[in-house]
């Protein structure tokens, strides 16, 4: 046989072996997997995403959340640490990332299936069970508004900062202090000059609001008192402006709330 | 290739003339691929540094969606993985195949067209991702409209490489040709199947990540690795002027790589929601990789034995040998890393990132640099303008990747240990890795980038015709002393 033919046939065979074994065989093995219902009348699990949550997948994909977050809970036998001289296992579950391990059935309707390979941030397979909508919006808008140590990017570009019309804020407006909303994505502080100007214009109102809420306080005209006043004011909401989620942010949060993979018991996910 | 009986002077002259004719037939397309590759390397480096900084300083460039970490991270991998590595492999494949088959390239313009398809695809790929069309499927992040360009370009390059092989005038088929031929056959298949099963007709659930890692691992193993190993098989004997250590080892190395590497990919999913046998099969495949790796290691390093002093002179050799040694190291590491107990810690951490860069950079990229240092002057007829700048390139790349690897391996290992201990608050892990990531952003990454910029300057100068004409020997770091073994005469003859 010609040398070229030998290489060609050999390359074909070796490669086909892995293609058949690693790709086609599991494809065939898993293609008939069905949602699970404990008894005939029950709602089957999982269900395909729909509406906003489905649109949220695109936002998650486009912004590469996958590169910091996995979506898989490893079993009770995986991930070991030492405690009181004993080796324990099951770190993922112990961290509260899911009540059980995730199995192939959990991903039946995922397009694409984003298992992930990096945990710069916590696992999100079951994050829908951990937080409610307002928390998710605040966190997505600027993670440091929730956890000062976070290195997660701010997704403020999915939110709009707009003037409040008619004196009434939108129901969806984020309830965050002005330090986070004045300059979306950053943590804002007025310069000394700005602060003087603000005090001159609205000092009385700010002081009154401060007095109403504070428990123990220092002399409001001492340097410490003025610093405290500034800190207080920064944590209050802006009066004339509000930050509202765009459709993309709503979709993303709907998707995060729908991520509940480690909850519903499945017979094959025992450990 | 290296003839076993010494050639007479007229024979030598004839074969040099023949090589010049072959080189001139592939000059335009091969240089076009090489220059495009280097362009994508620069783009990829810039994206890499941005992404790296953002990972510890989240306020950096935070306002623009185009530069959010996830998008830059995807664009980086596409730029260096498909742009740099893809096009460098194609340049190498075409040139090595012509040289070793001893035939010129026919219709070189068609390859220029193929390269343009690939470049257009890459521009759409990188910009598409930055503007929000990324897919978040590792290695396959390209937006939907990109694969047709890449598949078409790749198809032409593959067909041309095979056609060149079929027109060969050299009867002996050298091991480099085996590797190149197999690679250009594997990738089109691999890529088409992956895109088909993940995007066009998505397979259910976890079959997608299976296909994903079958592709991701094989892109490295059956495309970048074979061509880089093949290039080293070509460069090392060429530069030092003696044949490869063992023909049989090279065959063993080739076939065992073909068989086992393609089975290794699933270790990326250890502990995941997949049938356990899949991962086990891959762990076996990964362990069997010791065979091809040891075969290639013995072959490369035994050939070098007694010639290590030449690393002082020849840039092509120095880069290539750095890559060849790293290949052994990174493959051993990879095999161990595939074990369950090891992965339990290293998976989901920067340890894997360090390993990936040791492979894709310390091994693959360094060998490609070596090949380019050897190949480009033969195509342009010009020597490199500045040995000093080559030295800058070598040391900043070599030191850069070493620091990168050490810093991220340490960070990743402890990150993994802490992730596995639920008593360690998540905040502590984030804080712990930060200084290591800063070392990458401010020392390792910039060093590597300095190397790439030096290389780009050298290449541009060469293409502009600013080097000296190629009449005598190649560009050396230092001119070897005459009369000693490895003197300029001998090296020039071997390296011409």
Pair (A227, A258) in one structural domain:
no
pLDDT digits (tens, 9 = 90+) for A219-233: 767 888 888 899 999
Q: What is the pLDDT of residue A271?
A: 67
User: Which among B64, B74, B205 has CB closest to A64?
Assistant: B74
The answer on pLDDT for B358 being more than 60 is yes
Which range, of A57-66, A118-127, B473-482, averages the lowest pLDDT?
A: B473-482
Which of B411, B422, B426 best tests the A interface by mutation, with the highest count of A CBs <10 A? Answer: B422
With beta carbons under 8 A apart, name residues in chain B contacting A151: 55-58, 430, 434
Task: Answer yes or no: are the C-beta atoms of B70 and B47 closer than 8 Å.
Answer: no
Encoding tokens for residue B16?
């040099």
- Which neighbouring-strand residues pair with A243? A161
Which of A59, A64, A119 best tests the B interface by mutation, with the highest count of B CBs <10 A? Answer: A64
Q: How confident is the model at residue B495 (pLDDT cuts 50, 70, 90)?
A: very low
Q: How far apart are CA B96 and CA B258, in angstroms?
A: 20
Q: What is the pLDDT of residue B299?
A: 92
Q: What is the pLDDT of residue A214?
A: 59
A211: which residues sit within 8 A by CB, 6+ positions away?
A217
Which of B74, B184, B205, B413 best tests the A interface by mutation, with the highest count of A CBs <10 A? Answer: B205
More confident residue, B97 or A5: B97
Q: What is the pLDDT of residue B94?
A: 97
- What is B9-494's CATH topology? Cytochrome C Oxidase; Chain A (1.20.210)
Q: How far apart are CA B44 and CA B68, in angstroms?
A: 15
Q: Percent of chain B beyond pLDDT 90?
A: 77
Pair (A198, A67) in one structural domain:
no
Q: What is the pLDDT of residue B496?
A: 34
Among residues B329, B326, B332, B337, the alpha carbon closest in space to that of B265 is found at B337
The pair phi, psi for residue B64, each rounded to 5°, is: -100, 130
Q: What is the pLDDT of residue B63?
A: 85
Helix (H, G, I), strand (E, B), or coil: what is residue A110?
Answer: coil
With beta carbons under 8 A apart, name residues in chain A contacting B103: none
User: Which among B214, B423, B434 has CB closest to A23?
Assistant: B214
CA-based nearest residue in chain A for residue B67: A63
Does B98 contact A at CB distance below 8 Å?
A: no
Tokens 């040791």 — which residue? Answer: B358
Task: Answer yes or no: are the C-beta atoms of B167 and B215 closer than 8 Å.
Answer: no
Q: What is the pLDDT of residue A43?
A: 87
Encoding tokens for residue B83?
């742009």
pLDDT digits (tens, 9 = 90+) for A131-180: 999 999 999 999 999 999 999 999 999 999 999 988 899 999 999 999 99
Pair (A209, A128) in one structural domain:
no
Pair (A261, A130) in one structural domain:
yes
Q: How far apart are CA B347 and CA B2, in angstroms?
A: 44
H helices present in B57-142, as ranges: 69-77, 87-101, 108-128
Q: What is the pLDDT of residue B142?
A: 97
Encoding tokens for residue A233?
């004011």
Interchain CB distance below 8 Å, A104 and B65: no
Q: How far apart are CA B92 and CA B84, in angstroms?
A: 12
B294: which residues sit within 8 A by CB, 6+ positions away?
none
CA-based nearest residue in chain A for residue B52: A151
The answer on pLDDT for B492 being more than 50 is no
Q: What is the pLDDT of residue B309?
A: 86
Tokens 């910091």 — which residue? Answer: A68
The answer on pLDDT for B491 being more than 60 is no
Q: What is the pLDDT of residue B5?
A: 65
Beta strand A159-163 with A80-83 is unpaired
Task: Answer yes or no: are the C-beta atoms of B316 and B370 closer than 8 Å.
Answer: yes
Interchain CB distance below 8 Å, A66 and B70: yes
- Establish if A76 belongs to a structural domain: yes
Tokens 């220059």 — which residue? Answer: B35
The answer on pLDDT for B100 being more than 80 is yes
Task: Answer yes or no: are the C-beta atoms of A233 and A206 closer than 8 Å.
Answer: yes
Q: Which domain holds residue A205?
A: 180-236
Q: How far apart are CA A68 and CA A118, in angstroms?
A: 5
Pair (A95, A137) in one structural domain:
yes
Interchain CB distance below 8 Å, B137 and A112: yes
pLDDT digits (tens, 9 = 90+) for B375-385: 999 999 999 99
CA-based nearest residue in chain B for residue A248: B132
CA-based nearest residue in chain B for residue A262: B273
Mean pLDDT of B423-446: 97
Interface A–B counts its CB contacts (< 8 A) at 232
CA-based nearest residue in chain A for residue B269: A117
- Ranges of each domain in chain B: 9-494
Q: How far apart are CA B104 and CA B434, in angstroms?
A: 53
Interchain CB distance below 8 Å, A186 and B70: no
CATH number assigned to the domain comprising residue A115: 1.10.760.10
Task: Answer yes or no: are the C-beta atoms of B372 and B34 closer than 8 Å.
Answer: yes
Q: What's chain B's average pLDDT?
A: 92
- Is B442 exposed, middle or buried (CB count within 10 Å of its CB: 0-12, 13-18, 19+)? middle
Interchain CB distance below 8 Å, A81 and B423: yes
With beta carbons under 8 A apart, name residues in chain B contacting A112: 135-137, 198-199, 202, 208
The answer on pLDDT for B147 being more than 80 is yes
Pair (A252, A154) in one structural domain:
yes
Which of B273, B279, B434 best tests the A interface by mutation, with the highest count of A CBs <10 A? Answer: B273
pLDDT digits (tens, 9 = 90+) for A39-96: 888 889 999 999 999 999 999 999 999 999 999 999 998 888 888 888 889 999 999 9
With beta carbons under 8 A apart, name residues in chain B contacting A65: 70, 136
Q: How confident is the model at residue A5 (pLDDT cuts 50, 70, 90)?
A: confident
With beta carbons under 8 A apart, name residues in chain B contacting A156: 62-63
Name residues 260-279 of chain B within 8 A of A (Cβ): 262-263, 265-266, 268-269, 271-275, 278
Q: What's chain A's average pLDDT?
A: 92
Pair (A134, A231) in one structural domain:
no
Pair (A152, A82) in one structural domain:
yes
Query: What is the radius of gyration, based on Cα positions, of chain A?
Result: 26
Pair (A137, A255) in one structural domain:
yes
Helix (H, G, I), strand (E, B), or coil: what is residue B273?
Answer: coil
Which range, of A188-192, A208-212, B196-200, averages the lowest pLDDT?
A: A208-212
The answer on pLDDT for B333 being more than 60 is yes
Of all helices (H) and strands (E), which one includes residue A87? strand A86-89
- Establish if A2 belongs to a structural domain: no
Q: What is the pLDDT of residue B369?
A: 98
Encoding tokens for residue B218?
């094989």
Of all helices (H) and strands (E), which one includes residue A242? strand A241-245
Interchain CB distance below 8 Å, A151 and B166: no
Domain count, chain A: 2
Does B431 contact A at CB distance below 8 Å?
A: yes
The CA distances from residue B241 to B15, B123, B303, B362, in Å, are 15, 41, 10, 25
Neighbours of B369 (CB within 10 A): 27
Please give the ipTM for the structure prediction.
0.93
Q: What is the pLDDT of residue B481?
A: 58
């Amino acid at each position: 046989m010609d040398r070229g033919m030998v290489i060609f046939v050999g390359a074909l065979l070796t490669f086909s072996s892995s293609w058949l074994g690693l790709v086609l065989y599991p494809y065939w093995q898993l293609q008939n997997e069905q949602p699970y219902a404990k008894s005939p009348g029950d709602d089957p699990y999982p269900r395909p995403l729909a509406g906003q949550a489905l649109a949220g997948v695109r936002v998650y994909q486009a912004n590469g959340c996958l590169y910091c977050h996995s979506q898989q809970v490893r079993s009770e036998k995986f991930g070991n640490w030492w405690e009181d001289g004993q080796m324990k296992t099951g770190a993922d579950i112990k961290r509260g990332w899911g009540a059980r391990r995730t199995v192939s059935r959990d991903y039946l309707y995922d397009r694409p299936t984003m298992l992930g390979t990096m945990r710069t941030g916590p696992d999100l397979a079951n994050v829908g069970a951990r937080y409610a909508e307002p928390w998710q919006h605040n966190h997505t808008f600027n993670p440091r508004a929730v956890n000062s140590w976070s290195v997660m990017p701010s997704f403020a570009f999915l939110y709009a900062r707009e003037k409040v019309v008619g004196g009434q804020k939108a129901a969806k407006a984020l309830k965050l202090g002005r330090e986070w909303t004045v300059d979306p994505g950053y943590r804002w502080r007025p310069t000394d000059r700005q602060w003087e100007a603000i005090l001159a214009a609205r000092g009385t109102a700010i002081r009154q609001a401060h007095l109403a809420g504070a428990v123990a306080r220092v002399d409001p005209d001492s340097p410490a008192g003025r610093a405290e006043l500034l800190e207080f004011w920064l944590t209050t909401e802006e009066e004339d402006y509000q930050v509202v989620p765009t459709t993309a942010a709503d979709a993303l949060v709907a998707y995060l709330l729908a991520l509940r993979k480690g909850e519903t018991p499945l017979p094959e996910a025992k450990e | 290739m290296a003839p076993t009986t010494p050639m007479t002077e007229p024979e030598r002259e004839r074969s040099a003339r023949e090589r010049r004719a072959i080189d001139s037939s592939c000059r335009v397309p091969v240089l076009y691929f090489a220059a495009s590759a280097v362009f994508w390397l620069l783009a990829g480096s810039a994206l890499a540094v941005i992404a790296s900084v953002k990972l510890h300083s989240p306020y950096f460039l935070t306002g623009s969606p185009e530069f959010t970490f996830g998008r830059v991270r995807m664009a980086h991998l596409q730029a260096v993985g498909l742009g740099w590595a893809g096009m460098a492999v194609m340049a190498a494949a075409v040139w090595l195949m012509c040289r070793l088959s001893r035939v010129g390239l026919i219709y070189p313009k068609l390859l220029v067209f193929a390269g343009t398809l690939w470049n257009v695809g890459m521009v759409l790929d990188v910009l598409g991702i930055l503007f929000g069309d990324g897919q978040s499927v590792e290695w396959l992040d390209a937006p939907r409209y990109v694969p047709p360009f890449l598949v078409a370009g790749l198809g032409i390059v593959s067909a041309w490489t095979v056609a060149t092989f079929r027109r060969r005038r050299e009867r002996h088929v050298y091991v480099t040709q085996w590797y190149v031929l197999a690679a250009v056959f594997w990738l089109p298949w691999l890529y088409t199947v992956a895109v088909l099963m993940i995007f066009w007709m998505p397979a259910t659930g976890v079959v997608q990540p299976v296909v994903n890692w079958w592709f991701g691992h094989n892109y490295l193993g059956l495309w970048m690795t074979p061509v880089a190993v093949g290039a080293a098989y070509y460069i090392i004997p060429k530069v030092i002027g003696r044949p490869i250590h063992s023909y049989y080892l090279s065959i063993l190395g080739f076939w065992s790589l073909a068989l086992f590497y393609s089975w290794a990919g699933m270790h990326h999913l250890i502990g995941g929601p997949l049938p356990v046998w899949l991962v086990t099969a891959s762990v076996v495949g990964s362990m069997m990789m010791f065979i091809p790796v040891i075969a290639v290691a013995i072959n490369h390093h035994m050939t070098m034995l007694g010639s290590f002093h030449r690393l002082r002179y020849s840039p092509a050799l120095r880069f290539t040998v750095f890559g060849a040694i790293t290949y052994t190291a990174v493959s051993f590491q990879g095999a161990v890393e595939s074990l369950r107990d090891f992965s339990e810690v290293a998976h989901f951490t920067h340890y894997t990132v360090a390993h990936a860069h040791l492979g894709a950079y310390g091994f693959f990229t360094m060998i490609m640099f070596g090949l380019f240092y050897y190949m480009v002057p033969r195509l342009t007829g010009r020597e490199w303008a500045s040995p000093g700048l080559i030295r800058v390139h070598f040391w900043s790349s070599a030191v850069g990747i070493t620091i990168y690897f050490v810093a991220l391996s340490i960070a990743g290992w402890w990150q993994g240990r802490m992730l596995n201990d639920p008593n360690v608050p998540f905040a502590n892990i984030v804080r712990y890795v930060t200084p290591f990531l800063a070392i990458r952003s401010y020392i390792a990454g910039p060093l590597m980038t300095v190397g790439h910029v030096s290389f780009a300057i050298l290449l541009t100068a060469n293409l502009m015709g600013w080097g000296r004409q190629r009449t005598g020997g190649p560009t050396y770091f230092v001119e070897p002393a005459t009369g000693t073994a490895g003197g300029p005469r001998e090296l020039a003859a071997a390296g011409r």
